[in-house]
């Protein structure tokens, strides 16, 4: 309760002002929407449908979010807010029409990670990013601004993160979206008896890949989440 009651996210309202029209009914405050989403993460409710229902029943969750009891946002308002954070008309970063991707090879030993299809280490990736910032990440820009302004810079101000003696730890983890990769053929090869052609297909989730989950030892379809954590060096 204390964590959320004292969470000042008011900068969010000025940061998001350009994403709202001056006309029409007064929208929910972006700061309240963000606080509510963070609260849903805290309670491990990962569906907006369930969270919107929860806010109606659980008055404490409504109050901590910043909403009056009995006047909480519906599911659509959460999706609308999420849409305003995404700076693109398209739902995905990648083009949904592309040829099939190369599947990673299954590792020989148990518990081993699959050899990467694109052989780039995180260090090499960071060096590339510094020289050529990825342009195709533009839809995420507002999210990065929110993270930097409201969380990272404030953590630095509060002395929780020391930029001069920063120690970073990183690890990747699979984020499952579905059991199967959904795609649709747009060529006529199958009618000619060719099953494994490399023609373009339409992908439902073009930003996802097939990967090998070394922990559960199975293939998965989804995202690769790489998380970096900043902590104090030992002894400080
Ligand atoms: Zn084909």
pTM: 0.79
pLDDT of res. 236? 45
- Measured in Å, residue 40 CA sits from the centre of ligand 1 at 44
Residues paired with residue 228 on neighbouring β-strands, in sequence order: 170
Please answer whether residues 210 and 194 qualify as being in contact, where contact means their C-beta atoms are separated by less than 8 angstroms.
Answer: no
- Measured in Å, residue 100 CA sits from the centre of ligand 1 at 10
d(CA 68, CA 126): 45
- Measured in Å, residue 91 CA sits from the centre of ligand 1 at 26
Q: What is the pLDDT along the chain (236 residues), one digit of tens a residue?
A: 898 988 899 999 999 999 998 877 778 999 999 999 999 999 999 899 999 999 999 999 999 999 999 999 999 999 999 999 999 999 888 899 999 887 777 777 777 777 766 667 777 878 888 888 777 788 999 999 999 999 999 989 988 888 888 888 888 889 988 778 888 999 999 999 998 899 999 998 998 988 888 888 888 899 888 888 887 655 44
167-182 per-position pLDDT tens digit:
888 888 899 887 788 8
- Measured in Å, residue 210 CA sits from the centre of ligand 1 at 20
Break the chain into its structural domains and give their ranges. 2-85, 97-231
pLDDT of res. 228? 83
Residue 9: CB atoms within 10 Å: 20
- Measured in Å, residue 196 CA sits from the centre of ligand 1 at 8
Specify the 3-state DSSP secondary structure of 170: strand
- Measured in Å, residue 92 CA sits from the centre of ligand 1 at 24
- Measured in Å, residue 95 CA sits from the centre of ligand 1 at 18
Please answer whether residues 73 and 52 qualify as being in contact, where contact means their C-beta atoms are separated by less than 8 angstroms.
Answer: yes
- Measured in Å, residue 197 CA sits from the centre of ligand 1 at 5
- Measured in Å, residue 186 CA sits from the centre of ligand 1 at 7
- Measured in Å, residue 188 CA sits from the centre of ligand 1 at 6
- Measured in Å, residue 192 CA sits from the centre of ligand 1 at 9
d(CA 171, CA 174): 10
């Amino acid at each position: 309760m204390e964590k959320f009651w004292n969470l000042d996210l008011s900068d969010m309202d000025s940061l998001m002002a350009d994403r709202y029209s001056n006309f029409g009914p007064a929208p929910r405050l972006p700061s309240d929407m963000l606080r509510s989403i963070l609260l849903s993460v805290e309670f491990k409710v990962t569906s907006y449908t369930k969270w919107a229902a929860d806010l109606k029943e659980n008055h404490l969750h409504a109050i901590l979010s910043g909403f009056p009891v009995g006047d909480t946002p519906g599911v659509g308002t959460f999706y609308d807010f999420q849409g305003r954070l995404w700076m693109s008309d398209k739902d995905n970063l990648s083009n949904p029409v592309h040829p099939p991707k190369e599947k990673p090879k299954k590792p020989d030993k148990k518990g081993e990670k699959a050899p990467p299809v694109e052989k780039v280490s995180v260090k090499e990736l960071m060096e590339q990013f510094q020289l050529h910032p990825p342009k195709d990440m533009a839809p995420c820009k507002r999210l990065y601004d929110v993270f930097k302004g409201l969380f990272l810079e404030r953590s630095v101000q509060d002395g929780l993160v020391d930029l001069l003696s920063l120690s970073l730890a990183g690890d990747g983890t699979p984020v499952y979206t579905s059991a199967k990769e959904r795609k649709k053929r747009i060529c006529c090869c199958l009618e000619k008896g060719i099953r494994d052609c490399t023609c373009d297909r339409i992908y439902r989730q073009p930003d996802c890949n097939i990967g090998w989950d070394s922990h559960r030892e199975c293939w998965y379809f989804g995202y690769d989440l790489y998380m970096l954590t900043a902590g104090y060096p030992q002894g400080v």
